[in-house]
Structure 1
Amino acid sequence: MSGWGNTAVRIADDVAWTSGGSRVVAMDLATPGAAPFVLETSAAVIWEEIAADGPIRTRELLDRLSAAFEIDEDEIRADVEALLSDLVTRGLLAA
């Protein structure tokens, strides 16, 4: 998916996950043989933001991350959107 704009994202229905420290481990239970996927540091923060308030609009997520990391949205937009796209492809997020 490209052009995230104001797309809302949430954790997919058949996903189990746990977190500890700066790490999140998530797994798509609907896919036989799926392996756990580990998110660390900033990726874990993104997951936690989605988990706390999902579904959350991409613009709101970028606003929060920009404030939390004290960095301009334009500097993180491509990386955040790439992560969201990857997590949707893996079946961990729904958009």
Structure 2
Amino acid sequence: MLGACLNPGWVDSGYYNSCGRKTTVINPANKKSIEVVIIDSCISDDAKHPFHCNDISLTKAAFLALGGNPDDGYLANNVKWYFNDQKK
């Protein structure tokens, strides 16, 4: 199973505990989609690349499965994600 992490408010707060939740991530640029499990919370201390509330950070395997280029280290477009138990 592939993994990802979310902003701490989604993972360890009074309202949400999303560790272990299955989540679908879609790369609209190439139409690839994957299922990941939320494994942790994460933040960024890089002012040029802040980690916003609805951002998702992928493990390397998940990143590559969505068509990410390992030389770039990031996807050039925004991905979409949702918890599988709350599919829209």
TM-score w.r.t. length of structure 1: 0.30
Higher helix share: 1
TM-score w.r.t. length of structure 2: 0.31
Higher strand share: 2
